[in-house]
Amino acid sequence: MSQPVAKVSLTGIKPTGEPHLGNLIGAIRPALQLAEQYDSVYFIADYHALTTVRDPELLRHYSRSVAATWVAAGLDPRRTTFYVQSDVPEIFELNWVMSCVTGKGLMNRAHAYKAARDRNVEAGEEPDAGVNMGLYNYPVLMAVDILIMESDVVPVGRDQVQHVEYAADIAGSFNHLYGKSYSFKIPKAVVPEVGTGQTLPGLDGRKMSKSYDNTIPLFLPENKLKKLVRRIPTDSTPVEDPKDPDGSPVFQILEQFAPPSAADVVADTRKRLEQGGMGWGELKNVLFEVLNTELTPLRERYDALMEPGSELDTMLAEGAEQARERAGRVLTSVRKAVGISK
């Protein structure tokens, strides 16, 4: 019997900030696990980031840094097709074709655009104030990312599910018009169950997020990591008093981040906090040690990949070549189907 062809799993990563612990636990690790069961295609969505990142140096930096992060965290470019979106010009040609089969009404209803309008109206501004066409057309480009690689499943966070549904809709419109000649595969969103199903808290106890400026960046040098952990706010409960571990972001980060090999450290720490006799300072030392042990090998790999001319360049160049081959096949069929080429 011949081997069944593996299903394609594709996801895009928008390079808009310095990766943090929440991203590693909530997005990177689950996506890497999923990659093992699929023909996986992961890419850096740099042109999507351009809708918001206006500083060219910063965009270049984030794109490289996010790519290096995924490789440092374990992405294996021999198993996963890994590339930067802007290295695949076929995407942008198909983007035009797909805009021509996409209803404007569909874009009007997209969550991100609607949220921007609602914010404007609430603030008494013009509804479209500050909305660029990139933000408006964002779902079409994302649909193209997905469709051009013939994706079956798209692992995304909940906020992105509508975009994947849009990709299915847009594929449907194309298939309806040109299906006799070429049909896109209809993709499906999958929302990975995040490890423990929890959201990692940030330094202030709210969800760890760039937007709250409360993150632990993944690749801080050791001394900066130590300083950051020390600065996590705590109350003034005396060392000898019992403490509630579940009410402390320091403990929660420790519990969610610690690997199985540190399970007894976590259990012991919980007990000592509950009994009294362990101060916040000591708890922070425990957290720092666990973080540093886990992150040091990643940081070393990341630093090496970030060097100009590192092997990351070769990986991404090879990835782009593979991606262009896949995309080129689809684009050739589409050009024929719509009447641009013979």
Give me the 116-145 binding string for ligand TRP, x by CB under 6 A, dash otherwise.
--------------------------x--x
Give me the 162-191 binding string for ligand TRP, x by CB under 6 A, dash otherwise.
-x----------------------------
Contact 167, 149 (CB under 8 A): no
Residue 11's binding partner among ligand ADP, ligand TRP, none (Cβ under 5 to 8 angstroms by kind) is ligand TRP
Contact 69, 28 (CB under 8 A): yes
Contact 49, 55 (CB under 8 A): no
| Member of 24, 28, 48, 315 binding ligand TRP (CB under 6 A) | 48
- Smallest distance from ligand TRP to CB 115, Å: 13
Give the span between the Cα atoms of 24 and 270, in whole angstroms. 24
- Smallest distance from ligand ADP to CB 91, Å: 21
> What are the C-alpha distances in Å from 252 to residues 17, 87, 224, 259?
24, 40, 21, 13
Give the span between the Cα atoms of 92 and 10, in whole angstroms. 17
162: contact with ligand ADP by CB under 6 A: no
Angle made by CA atoms 324, 327, 333, in degrees to the nearest 5: 135
Q: How many CA atoms lie within 13 A of 24 on its CB side?
A: 26
Give the span between the Cα atoms of 132 and 203, in whole angstroms. 33
Give the span between the Cα atoms of 99 and 287, in whole angstroms. 49
232: contact with ligand ADP by CB under 6 A: no
Contact 191, 161 (CB under 8 A): yes
- Smallest distance from ligand ADP to CB 179, Å: 33
- Smallest distance from ligand ADP to CB 142, Å: 14
Name the closest residue to ligand ADP (Cβ): 26
Q: Kindly tell me which of 101 and 228 has the beta carbon lying closer to ligand ADP.
A: 228
Write b or e for each residue in 155-167: b if 16 or more Cβ atoms lie within 10 A of its Cβ, otherwise e: bbeeebbbbbebb
Q: Kindly tell me which of 12 and 19 has the beta carbon lying closer to ligand TRP.
A: 12
Strand partners of residue 201: 207
207 marked among binding-site residues: yes
160: contact with ligand TRP by CB under 6 A: yes
Q: Percent helix, strand and coil across the chain, each rounded to 5? A: 60, 10, 35
Contacts of 142 (CB under 8 A, 6+ apart): 12, 45, 48, 163, 166, 167
64: contact with ligand TRP by CB under 6 A: no
Give me the 183-212 binding string for ligand ADP, x by CB under 6 A, dash otherwise.
-----------x----xx------xxxxx-
264 marked among binding-site residues: no
What size, in residues, is the chain? 342
22: contact with ligand ADP by CB under 6 A: yes
156: contact with ligand TRP by CB under 6 A: yes
Q: Kindly tell me which of 172 and 192 has the beta carbon lying closer to ligand ADP.
A: 192
| Member of 23, 51, 102, 252 binding ligand ADP (CB under 6 A) | 23
Q: Which residues lie near ligand ADP (CB under 6 A)? A: 22-23, 25-27, 157, 194, 199-200, 207-211
Q: Which residues lie near ligand TRP (CB under 6 A)? A: 10-12, 14, 45, 48, 142, 145-146, 154, 156, 160, 163
Which residues line the annotated binding site for L-tryptophan?
145
Which residues line the annotated binding site for ATP?
14-16, 22-23, 157-159, 200, 207-211
